[in-house]
Amino acid sequence: MIVIPEALAESLRKHFPREWLAGLPGLVDRTLDQWQLTVDGKTMHGMASLVLPVVRPDGTRAALKLQPVDWEHEGEPVGLRIWDGDGIVHLLDHDQDTGAMLLERLDEHRPLSTMPDDFAATGILAELLARLTEVRGPEGMRHLRDSAKKMVADTPRTAIKLSDQDERNLLKDWAATVSELVDEPGDRLLHWDLHYDNVLAADREPWLAIDPKPLVGDPGFDIMPALDNRWDDIVATGDVPKAVLRRFDLLTEALGVDRQRAAGWTVARALQNSLWEVDGGEPRLDPIQVAIAKAVTSPRR
């Protein structure tokens, strides 16, 4: 019997209908039987997904991923098929009705976040991101244009929830920046969540990306997760703006994007993150998001 980790159960209860969590054990049993899989390791999980190390009938080691299918996750199998393992985990099988995915097995014990050299880790992530964003996004997938328009429209209503007037003004300034970009949102296939724990060591390549939440848009919108992760490494340098810009410059160079435009889309990501947090009850802006937005938009020192 598969035991659902309590941390996953708590997250699912908070964000998804309780019926999905209640039906998860049965879904595990049915999917294992459907694909004739044998569990051969410890249960793993993310914020919304249960992942089981499994073996296929032919002896191939794989990973079974089960998660609710919502706006964030519905495009994952589509994106994985398009990328076809180029810089990212292979999709071996997919059940359209349940959203279950059978994935190539990577080394879950060796995420990129374990690499001691922060700048070397950023370089690896940048190379993967450049490969992924070379691909044009498909028709019908959620688009950055729509997300950006919604951010701009939602900002006035959300800004009044902040307790500090200066932060209200800052949120509106970010929205003004996004409004200037919304008519040219880009056409690349984006990962949307490529941070250091979403890159794992692999056999066929040293490192591969996992857990995309694909959308179509400008590659600059994909930079933020590499800036606000491993934040302790940024702080440890003693010069936060300089360390942020060091990562930012490495990423923009690898992506081959216009630096000013990428800065604007990074501000858009700070706006998106902040709108979610404030609507969730936070009375102040996250200092990390503010620091990053300020660093990438300030004149070069």
Active site residues: 193
Distance (Å, rounded) from C-alpha 221 to C-alpha 269? Answer: 6
| Angle, in degrees to the nearest 10, between helices 118-132 and 240-255 | 30
Q: From CA 217, how far away is CA 121, in angstroms rounded? A: 24
> For residue 110, what are the contacts with CB-CB under 8 A and spacing of at least 6?
200, 201
Q: Which helix or strand (DSSP H or E) is residue 243 part of?
A: helix 240-255
In which element (H, E) is residue 223 found? none
Alpha helix locations (H) across 205-239?
224-228, 231-236
Alpha helices in 84-216 (DSSP H): 118-132, 144-159, 165-179
Amino acid present at 191: H
If 0-12 CB within 10 Å is exposed, 13-18 middle and 19+ buried, where does residue 91 land?
Answer: buried
CA dihedral 164→170→175→181, nearest 10 degrees, is -170
**Dist. CA 68–CA 63, nearest whole Å:** 17
Q: For the chain, what percentages of helix, strand and coil (3-state, to nearest 5) are there? A: 50, 15, 35
